[in-house]
Copies of this chain bind each other. A is one copy, B any other.
């Protein structure tokens, strides 16, 4: 196996710092990555030369992500049937319930949101797309984990105790395994304040032609609008939406 190119790794490390912060100075970067100042300047100059970062004049100069990343990200998404189909299905589901609808995929022990459709409230549509959260704290994540086979799930949970996002998050791997059994049985997962104490979510699995769980669709609302009756209706809607998207991904439901 050929060796990795450390300079490239460092450049990617720098780009990824900007996932959490919109602007950073050279000093910020050097501190966060424990790199020498000169090295950081050379890498930043390189990324700016290709517009992957944009420099913001000031004292100190700061940097922001640049347009080429948007182009590459869009190229990625544009080639993913899942994203294209999920956009329209999610819009239909959101229109039916007037709450936010998301579609996410599993990446390691996290979920990454590919699609978000908000309700008719003031639109902040793009903000959650691309976001990464711990799978075990989210309804979509629990659906995705429930779809893993035993060895894959064990690999994800191999790190021992799980970090919670709120006091309600499940942090014990064995408890999560029991919970996922229930998710499998019911076909939906619920986030009862585990990722955000003020939110409630319900999610269902999206499957592809082979029957594998490849994504999860969720419906989420602030707790002030969450009711038992609403919950039942929303579970039904998200099940239908996920089934529609699954059909578009080639899934053929068989009687069970």
Residue A34, interface by CB 8 Å: no
Give the shortest distance, in Å, between A74 (CB) and chain B (any CB): 2
Residue A16, interface by CB 8 Å: yes
Q: Specify which chain B residues have a CB less than 8 angstroms from the CB of A42 in the assembled complex.
A: 2-5
Give the shortest distance, in Å, between A93 (CB) and chain B (any CB): 14
Q: How big is the A interface, by class?
A: 35 or more
Q: Specify which chain B residues have a CB less than 8 angstroms from the CB of A12 in the assembled complex.
A: 50, 52, 68
The stretch of A121-129, A202-210, A237-245 in contact with B is A121-129
Q: Specify which chain B residues have a CB less than 8 angstroms from the CB of A88 in the assembled complex.
A: 123, 125
Provide the bound-state CA to CA distance between A2 and B55, in Å. 14
Q: Contact string, A45-85, partner B, CB cutoff 8 A, digits 1/0? A: 11101111000000000001111111111111111000110
Copies of this chain held together in the complex: 2
Q: Specify which chain B residues have a CB less than 8 angstroms from the CB of A15 in the assembled complex.
A: 72
Q: Specify which chain B residues have a CB less than 8 angstroms from the CB of A68 in the assembled complex.
A: 12, 16
Residue A254, interface by CB 8 Å: no
A8-B47, A71-B73 known; 18 new pairs, CB 8 Å cut-off, are A3-B42, A4-B45, A5-B43, A8-B8, A11-B11, A18-B75, A19-B71, A66-B76, A69-B73, A72-B73, A72-B130, A73-B74, A73-B76, A74-B131, A78-B127, A84-B123, A84-B126, A88-B125
